[in-house]
Amino acid sequence: MKLCVLGAGAWGTALAVAYSADHDVTLWTRDAAHAALLTRARENARYLPGITLPENLRITAERAAALHGCDLALIVTPIAGLREALKAVAAAGTPAVLWACKGFEAGSGLLPHAVAEQELPAAVARGALSGPSFAIEVARGQPTAITVASKDLAFASRMAAELHSPRLRLYAQDDLTGVEVGGAVKNVLAIATGVCDGLGFGLNARAALITRGLAEIARLGEALGGHGITFMGLAGMGDLILTCTGDLSRNRRVGLMLAEGLSLAEVLDKLGHVAEGVSTAREAAALARRTGVDMPITRAVADVLDGRVSARDAAERLLARDPKVEQEAVLERADEADIAPLQSPRG
């Protein structure tokens, strides 16, 4: 299969490396100087140091040329670049696309599939790649399992079969909304977990935070039309656990630095990479308000990022919440009439 990977960050580069063994792959980066450097050095030293780029992997800054004649486009940009990439895919007449970006589009609050509905012709097959996956481990060929989700289960199953390998295993499913919500909100909860760890609250507190966070993901996901079982799988619990506990998690590192008392600007400057949870927290908190879904952890993270409270004060506020019966806390939501499944966050 001829693949075009749009985005030469860590995850895009890792997927390009992984799929070069079995497919004809072109990796696109928006910066011509970056493309020339990757071609010459055969290493993406800024985003994926220590990984040799296969000789058969083509690298270019010409997006139209990269997309020409490809069977599948993999969009692996931050979500801020998704709409632009989809426009390019549509213009190139690419027959199929998968996106691996996670979050809600800033301003519109849309999930990726809703952005795709606005930008792609109906004939273009589409879906999302999501799940517990650190780029460096995929690039090294370490075992990884992720989800390919599409409203068209036949397409998801075909992509899972085409892209599946013994070390990068893909599982198909049709709950696109649930998979995208899980992938988005887990980054917010990773920031919260980093704060918890940075404040020295301990492993018991971390376990409680992750568990309560999973309940928040499920409440929002179901309110938007996702299926509860999705959040027990790779794109829900699996991705949440990895991102909240793994030292490679950029969002967890954001939380750790916030707990040290650094400002958000200082955190992002030190991080040097995109942490999707920062923008997602605000959009998720706003969406929770509009849909009447209770998401106290997400709200607390948004308040910290916006400078309304300190990391410690937000943590103490969460600890001061009244106790509840656990089943009621898991299922707590507004009346069904207020949170019927939505076509899009603004819909």
186 is catalytic: yes
DSSP 235: I
Q: How far apart are CA 10 and CA 50, in angstroms?
A: 12
Of 87, 186, 270, 324, catalytic? 186
For helices 250-259 and 311-319, the axis angle rounded to 10 degrees is 100
Buried b or exposed e, range 19-45, using 16+ CB within 10 angstroms: bbeebbbbbbbeeeebbebbeeeeebe
Which two tokens mark 73?
């486009």
Q: How far apart are CA 181 and CA 217, in angstroms?
A: 7
Q: How far apart are CA 333 and CA 213, in angstroms?
A: 14
DSSP 249: -
Q: How far apart are CA 100 and CA 116, in angstroms?
A: 13
Q: Please answer whether residues 48 and 67 qualify as being in contact, where contact means their C-beta atoms are separated by less than 8 angstroms.
A: no
Residue 289: how many other CB atoms lie within 10 Å: 11
Residues taking part in catalysis: 186
